[in-house]
Structure 1
């Protein structure tokens, strides 16, 4: 084999999924012996065979990917337990392998992927999806950019047909469970360096974090960044609809109409609510000019 062929051979062998016991597979998909393949381009040493030397790279490649995903979903890990979670993550990665130079985006498809794989979540499937959605929203809120915000005085100068945008870092979620309580409980209970599973690498048994009981109670959340910290803010259904409509490009007047469509608010109460929603959002710097978002 020339150098390019060796590189391609090793890349394929290193990326091959591990066994359920986190060991290198004995055979390839075509039935070839991985021991023979390893011996064809890796020399043994006094301590390790060619297969064992290759297995080190194979395992470390997968452990790094597993840890990258685990880092993003500590609450999902805590809710499902180590056994289920450490079966879920490799299965997800096998279907959604890393295709980017950065591991930041590796977890991006997990919430949607989880909806199609109830076998990993059992009876708490919908709860698990809500947790995954919120934890990925945390990543997005932390990483996405912030644009110069509009102040309350700027918004007052705008007419009803004007369009304003939301900060790119704001994530709006409609959830079936109050999982913000669960996620915050996990973060409070576990040090930042101890919220990943690492079970594949070290197979450590950690004490289970006590989780608050979850009863199905729909909530609406705005996940946002303020002073480099991510916060979860519950909002009313009408505020969620209004903010979502603004994000989707509706004018101010149309967004308000969408928000309160079908509601039985008295006109005076409705005006008070609109003022409340816009005031709070402006104070938190959630609004920006639509043209700046496009630039």
Structure 2
């Protein structure tokens, strides 16, 4: 057997659920470890490592389901989507989508949302740094440049629209508190996850703030357009509200200047 054929056979052994007798026949055991036992150790260790990765990346889902149900779900995922990237960093990328495929809608919707929220933390942590605006940048901005100021989200910022109390479940899992139960929210809320000074941060936005932020970073409003939009609700207080939110977003490290 050529080396490449042997390597492919070993890969198939790791991914299969049973030992391939024709492959094991090509190997020699040692004085203290026979071939089948050695292959079983490799097989089990490989799957155990992948399950460890999923437990780390989706610890809140694990916290919700418990050991047995999570093991069944993650085992099914490993069989459906074997690791195909040289880095385990990307192994869980399809896990939220798999939950959607694997479970009925009533079960999957809140669990998928929680999994997507957790994956957003992974994406935020590994995202490029970008050039987030700082308060001193804003202090040095000439007055004549304020009306036309346009911004975009820093590369690490992830947005998730939550219809369930996923943030509360995630927080309970991190605090090792009792499971709070899954409940639909009366009003969906935007949760932002981002990396600031090498630490992942998160917070939910009130609808008005979320609308204003999306206006600037998605619709492309300038600062003067933001003030004009806010004037409908806040009237003379619109500029102050716009500056207050903008200062908070900059202080959090959410924004950078929009590329020309």
TM over 0.5, yes or no? Answer: yes
Task: Report how far residue 235 of structure 1 moved.
Answer: 0.8
For residues 212-251 of structure 1, what are the structure 2 equivalents within 5 Å? Answer: 212-217=180-185, 218-248=188-218, 250-251=220-221
Q: In structure 2, how many angstroms separate the alpha carbons of the residues matched to 1:114 and 1:155?
A: 51
1:37 is the counterpart of 2:23: yes
Aligned to 1:193: none
Q: Find 1:140's aligned residue among 116, 123, 137.
A: 123
Q: Paired residue for 1:290? A: 258
CA contact (8 A) 1:172 1:244 kept: no
Structure with more strand by fraction: 2
- TM-score normalised by length of structure 1: 0.74
Q: What's the C-alpha RMSD, in Å, of the aligned pairs?
A: 2.9
Distance in 2 separating the partners of 1:56 and 1:156: 68
What is the CA-CA distance between 1:15 and the residue it aligns to?
A: 2.5
**8 Å contact from structure 1 (residues 74, 186) kept in 2:** yes
Unaligned runs of 5+ in 2: none
Structure (1/2) with the larger helix percentage: 2
- Decide whether the 8 Å contact of 2:146 with 2:224 is kept in 1: no
Asked if structure 2 preserves the Cα contact closer than 8 Å seen for 1:131 and 1:179, the reply is yes
CA distance in 1, matches of 2:43, 2:99: 26
Question: Following the alignment from structure 1 to structure 2, what is the Cα–Cα distance between the partners of residues 64 and 10?
Answer: 17
Change (3 A) 1:255 1:35: farther
How many residue pairs match? The answer is 254
C-alpha contact 1:114 1:129 (8 A) present in aligned 2? yes
1:74 Cα shift?
A: 0.8
Q: Structure 1 272/114 Cα, relative in aligned 2: closer, same or farther at 3 Å?
A: farther
Q: Distance in 1 between matches of 2:61 and 2:144?
A: 44
Distance between the aligned counterparts of 2:216 and 2:96, measured in 1?
Answer: 24
Greater CA drift, 98-107 or 7-16: 7-16
Provide closer, same or farther for how the CA distance between residues 83 and 124 of structure 1 changes in structure 2, counting only shifts above 3 A: same
| Cα contact 1:160–1:251 (8 A) shared by 2 | no
CA separation in 1, counterparts of 2:225 and 2:170?
30
Distance in 1 of aligned mates of 2:154 and 2:90: 20
